[in-house]
Amino acid sequence: MIVAELKPLDQITALLNGYRSILLAGCGECVTVCSAGGEKEVQSLAAALRLWYRHRGVAARVHTVVIQRQCEPEFLAEADPLVAKADCVLSLGCGVGVQFLAERHPQIPVFPALDTKFAGGTVEPGWWGERCGLCGDCILHLTGGICPIIRCSKSLLNGPCGGSQGGRCEVNEEIECAWQLIYDRLKGQGRLEELEAILPPKDWSRARDGGPRRVIREDLRP
């Protein structure tokens, strides 16, 4: 999932400066799971903003909606009547959701309430970890299902840097050395000999460097 975090309230109120009818739009998918932009967070932020305006004697209206999935146009339609009545929209979706909302309503400013952080998952309650850098050319079959691009602090592809101590990374001892994890995983699977192969330089042409990427499935197109 996409993992995101709420921006500080002072940054959000600065974004909303001068607007008097604000629609907070949450998303029912990833940002709900990572407790950043679901129903609970939308209502909590709405309450904080109403209080903020009341303390300053500002007559602003704050409305709320939670769209099932902000990155799917078919789900955005349900919010159209509410968006039409707003001066601006504060999206609690990830950066993708913000952009899809903004594309659908080019006449209305759509602002991000979240900082979108990474593609990852739940490590334990209240802890989300990065797992994928969306490189477009996955090599997890070579590394025991552990991504060296994201989980090694130096994104090394052919073994450790030599600075690992006790299985911890030399860049940050709070994190595990990815290459120690890869070694342990492949050893446990009886596949250690696979580490002897030298990987060629990675083909980054399928990564972000060529501009915005797209996936087109002709069999699914109208």
Closest contact distance (angstroms) between CB of 129 and ligand SF4 is 13
Q: Which of 15, 157 has the CB closer to ligand SF4?
A: 157
Q: Which residues, including other chains, have CB under 8 Å from residue 129's CB and lie 6 or more apart?
A: 120, 121, 123
- The residue (of 94 and 177) whose beta carbon lies closer to ligand SF4 is 177
> Which CB, 110 or 181, lies closer to ligand SF4?
181
Q: Which residues pair with 88 in a beta bridge?
A: 22
User: Do residues 86 and 22 touch, judged by C-beta distance below 8 A?
Assistant: yes
Would you say 102 or 171 has its CB closer to ligand SF4? 171
Q: Residues 117 to 156: which contact ligand SF4 by CB under 6 A?
A: 132-135, 138-140, 147, 149-150, 152-154, 156
Nearer to ligand SF4, 70 or 164 (CB): 164
Question: With respect to ligand SF4, which residue has the nearer C-beta, 85 or 213?
Answer: 213
Angle (nearest 5°) at CA 15 between 10 and 19: 115
Neighbouring residues of 49: CB distance < 8 A, sequence distance ≥ 6: 12, 13, 16, 22, 24, 60, 62
- Cβ closer to ligand SF4: 88 or 181? 181
- Who's near 169: CB < 8 A, 6+ residues apart? 152, 153, 163, 175, 176, 177, 178
Pairing of strands 127-132, 88-91: unpaired
**CA-based nearest residue to 23, from 131, 108, 150:** 108
Residues in the chain: 222
Distance CA 165, CA 174 (A): 11
Question: Which of positions 157-216 make contact with ligand SF4 (CB under 6 A)?
Answer: 160-161, 163-164, 169-171, 177-179
Q: Give the count of residues interacting with ligand SF4 (CB under 6 A).
A: 24
x/- map, 78-97, ligand SF4, by CB under 6 A: --------------------
The H or E element containing residue 14 is helix 9-15
* Using rule CB under 6 A, residue 60 touches ligand SF4: no
Interface with ligand SF4 (CB under 6 A): 132-135, 138-140, 147, 149-150, 152-154, 156, 160-161, 163-164, 169-171, 177-179
